[in-house]
A and B are shown apart, each in its own frame.
Chain A
Amino acid sequence: MDINGLQEISRIVRGDVIRMLGEAQSGHPGGSLSCVDILTTLYFAEMDNQPGQNPTERDRCILSKGHAAPALYSVLARKGYFPVEELLTLRKFGSRLQGHPDMKKTPGVDASTGSLGQGSSIAVGLALGEKLKKGTHKIYAIVGDGEIQEGQFWEAMMSANHYKLDNLTIILDHNGLQIDGTNDAVMTLGNIRKKLEAFGAMVIEVDGHDHQALIEAYRTPVKEQFKFILAQTVKGKGVSFMENQVGWHGKAPNGAEVRQALIELGCSK
């Protein structure tokens, strides 16, 4: 898919996210919207990942920041993993679309996540497994910036370096905000680039809403080293009143807010 196509699908996914959260009346809009472009570039322009493939014989992506599930579900539905209409069952009783990703329930979900700090370690396991099978598929994990306050994230980075996992790419959705405020107000993250470099990663810093830049980062060759993409993003991206607002971390929009957001996104029809 070309850049125009990626921009279009990203707009559609953002519209889906708003509709889903409006319907569910709970969930996490800010962090879902901030990682949309990361997800769309991965699923529509980069990964070898199609419905019907055996999951162990394709590229895989772990959404470690599982609360951004609405964005992932929309991307998976738009890829054809399940009907788009099903998106509006998000968080409802009996739905395949749980509040946080559940690999046993939702087609296309590669790991059950949501408890922060664990997805990177699962991704390390997948990358080790792929190496052991002498496979060539790539493993991606999307982590949140607040999430890297979890010590386990750094344990996973240590093993990604130790085992020289050049089939593993960790993407940080760095929107600068978490539940209680800015990252720096809650727990200073410091110089993330230097920290990851010290952990042995090839660090590539990009605008996390620039599809071209993201694709180039995914395709930058790397050998015997894991890749870390520091994606600078905007929490709530695409909806003016949600952008950079910490209050939209875990609050669903009401009817009027849904309508306004959809107008802004050009998804009001």
Chain B
Amino acid sequence: MNISETKSVRIAYGEALLELGGTEKNLVVLDADLAHATMTCKFGEAYPKRFFNMGIAEGDMMDTAAGLAISGFTPVASTFALFGTGRAYEQIRNSICYPKLNVKIACTHSGLTVGEDGGSHQSIEDISLMRSVPNMTVIVPCDAVQMKKALTAAVEMDGPVYLRVSRPPAPVFTKESDSFEIGKANILRNGSDIAIFATGLMVYEALVAAEELENQGVHAAVVDMHTIKPIDKESIISLARKTKRILTVEEHSVIGGLGSAVAEVLSENMPTAMKCIGIEDCFGQSGTPEQLLKEYGLSSANIVEQTKIMIKKA
């Protein structure tokens, strides 16, 4: 993988929001005093009347978004993933998802790669929380290019969507021409020995791992699971049938996230040997994103290692 360009997914989010604001006149954006971190500030500067800073009050922000949706607008509410999905969980559940309102929740600074802010700010449970609420769609873009497509698709569909956006500069490896359909996994690489399902920043790590594995004679398929819910059952089942081994990788707890979602599909339809790479039921800590990803096993090296262990077993 020779990737020269890196770009933060949240920067791409801010740009996409700004661009959509020009065509989608019904789009309104809310933030909870983090507009310069979530990058909603760009939209706010261009369309001040359609931008509402709600102050440091995430629960209030989600319900205000609900009211704007009832009024016929398409609200996009942003804050950090921990506060959006944690602090305001019940507002999202009862006031947005229960009445299936057209609110988009785009939370940045997700996962461990928040970095130096430490464990108190690293959301490692948000996919699990959002996935379990009825009517919610959950999308985790893998890079800056996909971010824009994901936001556009989220705004085009009717109903609540959670978009999980990451903070640090990250490799840009998907193309403008790549397809993006909510609920349809993108198979980035074919392989017959194992299928690696990854989401968010881990998709790139999985691709790097697959190249290394190929050098060692192991043929790994890599799937970009940008949509965690609704999960693409067909792709999971067909790849499990083909490879007989499944590995999942996510910058999230191993409890309740992508790994769990894939396991739910496989255990009922095609029981398959499986390994979930994720944060092993513990909190994060301060450090650079690179240090943290390495410490918690979210690296191409660990994907290679775990794959080899799985292949040796069988």
In angstroms, Cα B95 to Cα A121, docked, is: 10
CB-based contact A124/B67 at 8 Å:
yes
Give per-residue flags for A120-132: 1 if the beta carbon is below 8 A from chain B beta carbons, else 0: 0111111111101
Determine whether B55 belongs to the interface, using a CB cutoff of 8 Å to chain A: yes
What chain A residues lie within 8 Å of B62 (beta carbons)? Answer: 121
Indicate if B100 sits at the interface (CB-CB under 8 A).
yes
Chain B residues contacting A111 (CB-CB under 8 Å) are: 66-67, 70, 95, 99
Minimum CB–CB distance for A100 against chain B, Å: 9
* Residue from B54, B62, B73 having most chain A Cβ neighbours under 10 A: B54
For the complex formed, measure the closest distance between the CB of B40 and the CB atoms of chain A, giving whole angstroms.
16
User: CA of A163 to CA of B189 in the docked complex: distance in angstroms?
Assistant: 51
- Chain A min CB distance to B31 (Å): 13
Count of chain A to chain B residue pairs whose CB atoms are closer than 8 Å in the complex:
111
Q: Find chain B residues with CB under 8 A from A130 CB.
A: 71
Q: Chain A residues with Cβ under 8 A from B95's Cβ?
A: 111-113, 115, 118, 121-122
Name the contact of B60 in the complex, choosing from A110, A133, A152 (C-beta under 8 A): A152
Q: How far is the CB of B34 from chain A (nearest CB, A)?
A: 16
B63, B70, B90, B95: residue with the most chain A Cβ atoms closer than 10 Å: B63
Q: Are A125 and B67 in contact, with the CB atoms below 8 A?
A: yes
A158 within 8 A of B: yes
Contact status A102-B99, CB under 8 Å: yes
Residue B174 interfacial (CB < 8 Å): no
Known: A121-B64, A128-B52, A129-B68. A155 touches B59 (CB 8 A): yes
From B63, B90, B100, give the contact of A122 (CB < 8 A). Answer: B63
Which residue of A118, A126, A158 is within 8 Å of B91 (Cβ)?
A118
Q: Does A114 contact B (CB under 8 A)?
A: yes
CB closest chain-A residue, reference B75: A125
Among candidates B63, B73, B75, residue contacting A121 with C-beta atoms closer than 8 Å: B63
A159 interface hit (Cβ, 8 Å): yes
* Interface: B57 (CB within 8 A): yes
Please tell me if the beta carbons of A126 and B67 are within 8 angstroms of each other in the complex.
yes
Closest to B69 in A: A125
A119 surroundings in chain B (CB, below 8 A): 63
Q: Is the interface of B mostly helix, strand, loop or mixed?
A: helix
Q: Report chain B residues within 8 Å CB of A102.
A: 98-99
In the complex where A104-B100, A152-B60 touch, is A125 in contact with B55 (Cβ < 8 A)?
A: no
| Mask: chain B, 71-98; 1 = CB below 8 Å from A; 0 = not | 1110100000000000000110011001
A148 to nearest B CB, angstroms?
14
Whether B94 contacts A115 by the Cβ 8 Å rule is yes
Proximity string of chain B (20-50) to chain A, C-beta cutoff 8 Å, 1 when within and 0 when not = 0000000010000000000000000000011
Max chain B Cβ within 10 angstroms of own Cβ: one of A56, A127, A155, A156? A155
A125: chain B residues within 8 A (beta carbon): 63-71, 75
The answer to whether B70 touches A126, judged by C-beta atoms less than 8 angstroms apart, is: yes
Given known A-B contacts A102-B99, A111-B67, A112-B94, A129 and B57 have beta carbons under 8 A apart: no
Hey, which chain B residues are within 8 Å of A123, CB to CB?
Answer: 67
With a cutoff of 8 Å between Cβ atoms, the chain A residues found around residue B60 in the complex are 121, 124, 152, 155-156, 158-159
Task: Using known A-B contacts A112-B95, A115-B90, A132-B28, determine if residue A152 contacts B67 with beta carbons closer than 8 Å.
Answer: no
Docked complex Cα distance between A55 and B68 (Å): 13
Contact: B99 with A159, CB < 8 Å? no
* CB <8 Å contact, B71 and A122: no
- Can you name the residue of chain A whose Cβ is closest to the Cβ of B72? A56
A115: B residues at CB distance < 8 A: 90, 94-95
Q: Chain A residues with Cβ under 8 A from B50's Cβ?
A: 132
**Which residues of A line the B interface, CB within 8 A?**
55-56, 102-104, 110-115, 117-119, 121-130, 132-133, 152, 155-156, 158-159, 162-163
The 7 closest A-B pairs by CB, nearest first: A125-B67, A129-B71, A121-B63, A155-B60, A155-B57, A125-B64, A122-B67
Q: List 25 A-B contacts (CB under 8 A).
A: A111-B67, A112-B95, A115-B90, A121-B62, A121-B63, A122-B67, A124-B63, A124-B67, A125-B67, A125-B70, A125-B71, A125-B75, A126-B68, A126-B71, A128-B64, A128-B67, A129-B28, A129-B72, A130-B71, A132-B28, A132-B49, A152-B63, A156-B63, A158-B55, A158-B57
